[in-house]
Amino acid sequence: MIKQQQHAAIFERQKVLFVADNRNRENWGCRATSIALKEIINSHSEIAYTIYGDITGSYNPELIHGYSKWMRLYKLLYNAFPIFRRVFKLFDVADIISSTVKKSLKRYRKAIKVNKFIKDLDKQIKEVDAIVVNGEGTFIFSTPNRYDTIFYLLILKVAQDYGKRTYLLNAMYSDSPTSKRNISLLSETRQILEKCTMVTARDPLSYDYCKAYIVKSVKYVPDALFTWNKYFQYNNLCMNFPYATISFPEMENKWINYNKPYLCLSGSSLAAGNPRDAFSAFYDLALLLNEKVLPTIIVSTCSGDSFLEPVAKKAGLPYVSVQTNILSGMSILGNASVFVSGRWHPSILASISGTPCVFLGSNSHKTLAIQVMLGYKEAKEYSAIPNSQEISCIVQDAIQAVEKEHSLRKCVTKKIEELSIKAINGNNIASST
Reported as a single tens digit per residue, the pLDDT across 307-318 is 999 999 999 999
Distance CA 14, CA 23 (A): 23
Instruction: Answer yes or no: is pLDDT of 2 > 50.
Output: no
Distance CA 120, CA 78 (A): 22
Q: Which structural domains are found in the chain, ordered by start?
A: 12-221 (3.40.50), 228-421 (3.40.50.2000)
The CA-based dihedral angle spanning residues 340, 341, 346, 351, taken in that order and rounded to the nearest 10 degrees: 40
Distance CA 225, CA 96 (A): 31
Instruction: Answer yes or no: is pLDDT of 284 > 50.
Output: yes
17, amino acid identity: L
> Which pLDDT belongs to residue 8?
38
CA distances from 6 to 60, 166, 172 (A): 43, 26, 37
Length of the chain: 433
DSSP count for the chain of H helices, then E strands: 19, 11
What string of DSSP letters covers 128-173?
SSEEEEEEEEEEE--SSPPHHHHHHHHHHHHHHHTT-EEEEEEEEE
CA pseudo-torsion sign 141, 142, 143, 145: negative
Quick check: 203 and 373 in contact, CB under 8 A?
yes
pLDDT band of 64, cuts 50, 70, 90: low
Quick check: 176 and 141 in contact, CB under 8 A?
yes
The neighbour count for residue 325, using CB atoms within 10 Å, is 16
Going by C-alpha positions, the residue among 414, 275, 412 that lies closest to residue 347 is 412
Reported as half-sphere exposure (CB side, CA atoms, 13 A), residue 391 has a value of 19
Q: Which of 53-57, 81-85, 414-418 has the lowest mean pLDDT?
A: 81-85
| 145 φ/ψ angles, rounded to the nearest 5 degrees | -70, 165
Collapsing DSSP to helix, strand or coil, 340 comes out as strand
Tell me what percent of the residues of the chain surpass a pLDDT of 90. 69
| 352 φ/ψ angles, rounded to the nearest 5 degrees | -55, -35
152, amino acid identity: Y
CA distances from 212 to 186, 196, 206, 215, 251 (A): 12, 17, 10, 7, 52
Quick check: 354 and 412 in contact, CB under 8 A?
yes
> Which pLDDT belongs to residue 9?
41
Reported as a single tens digit per residue, the pLDDT across 86-143 is 666 555 555 788 889 999 999 899 888 888 888 999 999 999 999 999 999 999 998 8
Distance CA 347, CA 326 (A): 13
Reported as a single tens digit per residue, the pLDDT across 365-380 is 999 999 999 999 989 9
Distance CA 229, CA 420 (A): 7
> Which pLDDT belongs to residue 400?
97
Paired with 134 in beta bridges are 169
Quick check: 100 and 150 in contact, CB under 8 A?
yes
340, amino acid identity: V
